[in-house]
Structure 1
Amino acid sequence: MKLLTSQKNSIYDLIVKNGLSPSQFKFSKSANKYNYDGFATNLEYKNDEFYFSFQTAENSENDHYAIFSPGDDVYFEEFFSRSWNSQLAVFSNWLRYLKREITVPDKWKVLHDQVDHLDLKIDQDNDKFSAKEFIELTNRIIELKESLNKIDLLPEQLEIINSKLDHLNKTAEDLGKFDWKSLFIGTIVNTVIQLNLTPENAQLLWSTIKNVFSNYFLIE
C-alpha cells in the first residue's frame, strides 16, 4: 500500500515517542503478499535486518495487513490489523519489540569475545588445595580485590565482583583445583556479562586477573 503523508507522520511520531530516532529507518517498496495488484511499503531499520511491512489484504485498500520482524516471541510475525488505527497499534508494539532486541546485550557474543581472547591454559590437576595452597589462593584473591579499586567500576559493580570473589574463595575449601579454576573462569565471564561492563573495563579486569594469578593460575 502507498502511505499518505499523514500516515507517514503518524509513523514518525510513534518512532519518536518510543525513544528511537527516525533517522535510523528508511522506507522501501516490495511485493504485497496478499494483494497482487499493489505493493507494500516497508520501514527498514538501517542497522539490522529488522523491518515493518505495511500491506493490504484481499485486493482492498481497507484491510490492512502487517508483516514484521522482530515479533513478540518469534523472529518473524504476521498480523491482520484490518484498519489503519489497528495497524498503528501493531506498529507501536513492533517498535517495542525492536527496541528490546537492539538494546539487549548479546550474551552469547560477549561470552565468545571474552573467552576467545583469554588464551587460557589450566592444568588438569584436580587434587584438593593443601592448607598452604589455600592460604596462597586467599592472599591472591585479597590482592585481586585491592587491585580492582584501580579500575573505573561503579560502586555496585565492584561490590558484586568482590562478593563473587569471596564466594569463590569459600568454594576452594571443597573443590579440586581444576574444578575450582574452571568455576572461577565461568564466574568471571558470567559476571562481566551480568554487569554489562564496558569492553575497556572488561579488558582491564582480565588483565588484572592475569597479573595477580601469573605463574599460579596459568592464565596466559
Structure 2
Amino acid sequence: MPRKQRQPGDAFLSQNKCNLGTNTRIMQLLRSQLNELYDLIEKQGYFSPSQFSILAGQTELTLNETQFYFKVFEDIGYVDSMMANFSPGRSLYMEATTGVDWEGIKFYFKDWLSYLKREVSAPDKWGRLVEEVKSLIGETQVENTAFSHQEYLEVRRNIETIKNQLSSIPLLETQNIAILHQLNHVAEMTDKLNKFDWRNFFIGTITSCVIQLGVTQEHAKLFAELIRNTFSGWMLLK
C-alpha cells in the first residue's frame, strides 16, 4: 500500500506522550543527518559533541553518564514523516513529537539541547541539603557494640532535650509534630540497635524527615545545629 503524504493535523501523537504506537519504526540516521546534529550541538555552545554517544545502528544520541537521550522514529504510514522521542522534555521527564519532516526534527533537537542544559546545570538543592545536614551532625565512626545502660540513659536525655528545644526553631506546626514523632521513634530504637546502626538510623531518619517535610534550608541548619550542640562531646555525633 503506498504511503500517504502527511497533511496538517494528521499527526496522531501529542508532544507530551511517549507511546509511539505500531505505525512507527526506529529510524537509522544518515551520516549527513548526524553531521547536522553535530553542528547544532557545536552551535549551541554549551555542550561538546564528544559528550554524546551514538548507539549502534545510528538510531539514538545519548548524553554520556546520564539516561538522557534523543531518538528518531520513521512514521511508516506517511512519506518523509518522522517523530522524535526524547528525555528530558520541556515539562516531563520523557516527551515525543508529532509527525514532522527532518527540518522539524532539527527544531526539536535544538529544544532538547536547551532542556539538557537546564537539567545538567541545575544545582541539586536537595542533595546539597542532605550533605549539609550530615556535615553539621557529624559522621564519626563508632563501635558496632550495644549501648551500656549509662549510654542508653544519656541518649534518651539528649533526645528529650532536642524535643524540648525544638520550639525555638520557627517550623510549621505540621513539621514540628512530625519531627517530634520521629524523635520518639528514634528514642525507642535505642534499646533495639547497636551504637553503629542506631547512629546511621538517627542520621537517616532526621535527613529524610527534613526532606519529606519540606523544611527550609535555614531551618534545617538550625535543627542540625541543635542536634550537634545537644550531643556535643558525645562519641556518636562528634
TM-score category, normalised to shorter length: 0.5 to 0.7
Which residue number corresponds to residue 126 of structure 1? Answer: 145
1:142 CA drift (Å): 1.2
1:137 CA drift (Å): 2.1
**Equivalent residue letter for 2:98:** S
Where in structure 1 are there 5+ consecutive unaligned residues? 1-32, 47-52
**Equivalent residue letter for 1:209:** I
In 2, distance between residues paired with 1:177 and 1:218? 8
Where in structure 2 are there 5+ consecutive unaligned residues? 1-28, 47-69
| 1:172 paired residue among 171, 190, 200 | 190
1:149 CA drift (Å): 0.5
Which residue number corresponds to residue 22 of structure 1? Answer: none
In 2, distance between residues paired with 1:140 and 1:115? 18
Contact between 2:82 and 2:100, CA under 8 Å: does it hold in 1?
yes
Q: Give the secondary structure class of the aligned counterpart of 2:98.
A: strand
1:115 CA drift (Å): 2.6
1:159 CA drift (Å): 0.9
**Equivalent residue letter for 2:167:** N
Q: Give the secondary structure class of the aligned counterpart of 1:215.
A: coil
In 2, distance between residues paired with 1:163 and 1:149? 14
Which residue number corresponds to residue 115 of structure 1? Answer: 134
1:218 CA drift (Å): 4.2
| 2:156 paired residue among 131, 138, 146 | 138
Alignment RMSD (CA, Å): 4.8
In 2, distance between residues paired with 1:203 and 1:188? 12
Of all paired residues, the percent bearing the same amino acid is: 29
In 2, distance between residues paired with 1:64 and 1:137? 64
Cα distance change of structure 1 residues 117 and 205 upon mapping to structure 2, 3 Å threshold? closer
Q: Deviations over 1:74-132 (max 9, x none)?
A: 5xx6x451279xx9xxx9xx9xx99xx799x76544433433454422431512331x4
Say how many residue pairs are matched: 171
In 2, distance between residues paired with 1:211 and 1:145? 13
Which structure is higher in RCO with an 8 Å CA cutoff and minimum separation 6? 2
Is 1:160 the counterpart of 2:165? The answer is no
1:133 CA drift (Å): 3.2
Is 1:82 the counterpart of 2:73? The answer is no
Is 1:182 the counterpart of 2:200? The answer is yes
1:207 CA drift (Å): 0.4
In 1, distance between residues paired with 2:211 and 2:156? 25
1:178 CA drift (Å): 2.4
Q: Give the secondary structure class of the aligned counterpart of 1:82.
A: coil
Is 1:70 the counterpart of 2:125? The answer is no
In 1, distance between residues paired with 2:136 and 2:234? 19
In 1, distance between residues paired with 2:93 and 2:215? 27
In 2, distance between residues paired with 1:201 and 1:144? 14
In 1, distance between residues paired with 2:237 and 2:147? 19
Is 1:213 the counterpart of 2:228? The answer is no
Give the TM-score normalised by the residue count of structure 1: 0.55
